[in-house]
Each structure stands twice: as structure tokens, then as C-alpha cells.
Amino acid sequence: MTIVNADTRRSRSSAAPVSPDWKTRSVCRDELADDFYSTIKSRKERARALCVGCPVIVECLSNQRQSDDAIYRWGVGGGLDPEQRRALELEELLGNVPNLAMARVLVSPRWLWRLRQLKADCRSLEGMTAAFREDGLFVDEVTVRVAAWWSGGEGSRVARLAPGDKRTWRAQLQDDYADVVVALHELGARRVDIAAYLGIPGANGAKGVAAVLKAAAAGGLELAA
């Protein structure tokens, strides 16, 4: 991704300085790297599951967010796949910096059951975040999003539709997400990365983003001033 350089990313990140010896404590140091770089879904999921049990997942993901090393552009790392990491970079570009230590709390045995319950019951990150706050946890949406990813969920920004809401996800993009799509585009984000941010990765997501940008350019959408 080219929209932010390493210095910008370092200054934007709230991640604590990473101890240089963190890799010596990583779970994957003795594992075959194949699963971490596989394109097969089941193998990628196995790698992500290993990450979630890794004692240095916070340090690893922090390091990946602070590094421009090409190796961090590929494969599973820090419990996320590349699309999720690109989505996280756009979150940070919008000023949404996760509290990774708190995200780790949310996937601990004490809270994982609640996270899974909320993923099943709530229709949005917003709803999950509000419920956690009612539980007494001070969390924000991007922190919940990272925890949802770590727990194997999609953590999509585009909410599942409420009962009675018959809109398609394309209609949701135009109705509810046009402002952020245009803002990210103006910040230089690629369409495919905007789609990853929204949680609609792949070619369909990029096409949906392109349609929103086209409609906005034609003046066919009402955007916030």
C-alpha cells in the first residue's frame, strides 16, 4: 500500500515500542511457514489460530504496522491476513487506532464467550462496542474489530442488515458509506483497499466502491459537507 509512508505510520500508531527480542517468543518460530503464506483458506485459518495463541501477537501486529518490510505485505501475521491489515491501515488513516492490548483481553477466555455471543446477536461493530461498554469495558469500534478478526470473524464495517431492511450491500454503500468511501479515495486509498476497510473484499467490493465514486462524481449522492 502506498498511501502512507513508514514515518507517517509510525507517528500515527499508538503502539508501544516493540522489544527487539519479541520474535524469540513467537509461536511460529518453530512452525513451517507454509500455512502462513498459503492461499488455501483452511491453512490460512490454521495460521491465524496459531497467532491467537501466540504470546507476542500484540508485538507482532505492532511491528507489522510499523514496518515497511516487504515480508509484511504477504501472508498471515499478527493474527490478520493482508486484507485485514490493509483495512487496519485505512482505519488508522481515519484516526481509528486500536488498543491491541484491550483487543487481546477481548479474545481471552474471560471475554471470548461474550465476543462470540455479541457477534451472533449484534448486527454491527457499533452494536458490539455499545454492548461491551454496557459490560463495563471501555472499548472502541476498531479495537472490537481487531478482536473480531482475531477470533475468526469477519469484522465487517458494513453492518448486517437489520430485520425488515431489504437493502443490498451495494445500496448500503451508497446510503451509509458514501462519505467515508469518498474521503478515503481523496486520501489516496486504492479501491480494493477501501473495499477491505468496509469488509467487502475482492473484486465485487472494488466494483461497489467504484460505483459509489462514480455516483459521487456525477453529483448523484448527498455527501456530508
Question: Distance between CA atoms of 183 and 99, rounded to whole angstroms?
Answer: 24
C-beta of residue 191 within 8 angstroms of C-beta of residue 209: yes
When the beta carbons of 50 and 128 are compared against ligand SF4, the nearer one is 50
What would the DSSP string read from start to end of 93-156? Answer: HTT----HHHHHHHTSHHHHHHHHHHHHH-SSHHHHHHHHHHTT----HHHHHHHHHHTT----
Nearer to ligand SF4 by C-beta: 100 or 212?
100
Residue (29 or 133) nearer to ligand SF4, CB: 29
Longest CA pairwise span in the chain (Å) = 55
**Residue of 1, 15, 18, 28 that binds ligand SF4 (CB under 6 A):** 28
C-alpha span between 35 and 101 (Å, rounded):
25
The window from 21-29, 94-102, 127-135, 197-205 that contacts ligand SF4 (CB under 6 A) reads: 21-29
Q: Among 158, 94, 103, 101, which residue's Cα sits nearest to residue 125? A: 158
Q: Which of 10, 13, 26, 43 binds ligand SF4 (CB under 6 A)?
A: 26
137 scored as a contact of ligand SF4 (CB under 6 A): no
Q: Which stretch binds ligand SF4 (CB under 6 A): 8-16, 24-32, 150-158, 210-218?
A: 24-32
Taking CB under 6 A as the binding criterion, the range among 6-14, 23-31, 142-150, 176-184 that sits at the site for ligand SF4 is 23-31
Instruction: Round to whole Å and give the CA distance between 121 and 151.
Output: 15
- In the list 1, 54, 142, 194, the residue contacting ligand SF4 (rule: CB under 6 A) is 54
147 binds ligand SF4 per the rule CB under 6 A: no
Applying CB under 6 A, which part among 75-83, 103-111, 127-135, 142-150 lies near ligand SF4?
Answer: 75-83
- DSSP per position, 68-104: --GGGGSS-BTTB-HHHHHHHHHHHHTT----HHHHH
Which of 60, 107, 147, 184 contacts ligand SF4 by CB under 6 A? 60
By CB under 6 A, tell whether 146 contacts ligand SF4: no
Reading the block at residue 146, the C-alpha cell is 481487531
